[in-house]
A = this chain, B = another copy of it.
């Protein structure tokens, strides 16, 4: 399949919304910045709405934040756009041979190490807020 870019796109969408309070950006405006189709943006809107991060106005259009940027971490955003299965870094082949000592135990044995690695990654994402990202963008600007 293609590389999954929903997470970084979601971050970019939230930055655009946070930085443009006056003219609330529409899916068309955002799609231009991300270089994709407006429908792709609207699909991510749905995830961000469900997570309680934004509100989207029908009819007139536009979006705004429901939380302050310092209340949203990168991990929160990650969870909003990818379910637990998708967030798992390491996957197992299906149908491991249960008659084989290795095949029947490897998944259980590796699960521990994999969980630790996954948690370490996620804890780093928890350390960074949307506000941190926005500040960096302003500095670089």
A interface residues with partner B (beta carbon < 8 Å): 1-5, 7-9, 11-12, 15-16, 19, 32-36, 74, 89-97, 100-103, 105-110, 112-113, 116-118, 120-125, 127-128, 132-133, 136-137, 140-141
Measured between alpha carbons, how far is A125 from B105 in the docked complex, in Å? 19
Whether the pair A90, B8 counts as a contact (CB closer than 8 A) is yes
Measured between alpha carbons, how far is A5 from B89 in the docked complex, in Å? 10
A106 in complex: contacting residue of B1, B11, B112, B121, CB < 8 Å: B11
DSSP class of A's interface residues: helix, strand, loop or mixed?
Answer: helix
Min C-beta distance of A135 to chain B, whole Å: 9
Complex: chain B residue closest to A133, CB-CB: B109
Task: List residues of chain B with CB within 8 A of the CB of A93.
Answer: 5, 8-9, 34-36
A102 in complex: contacting residue of B3, B15, B92, B102, CB < 8 Å: B15
Task: List residues of chain B with CB within 8 A of the CB of A7.
Answer: 90
Task: List residues of chain B with CB within 8 A of the CB of A34.
Answer: 93, 96-97, 103
Task: List residues of chain B with CB within 8 A of the CB of A128.
Answer: 113
A109 in complex: contacting residue of B35, B89, B125, B136, CB < 8 Å: B136
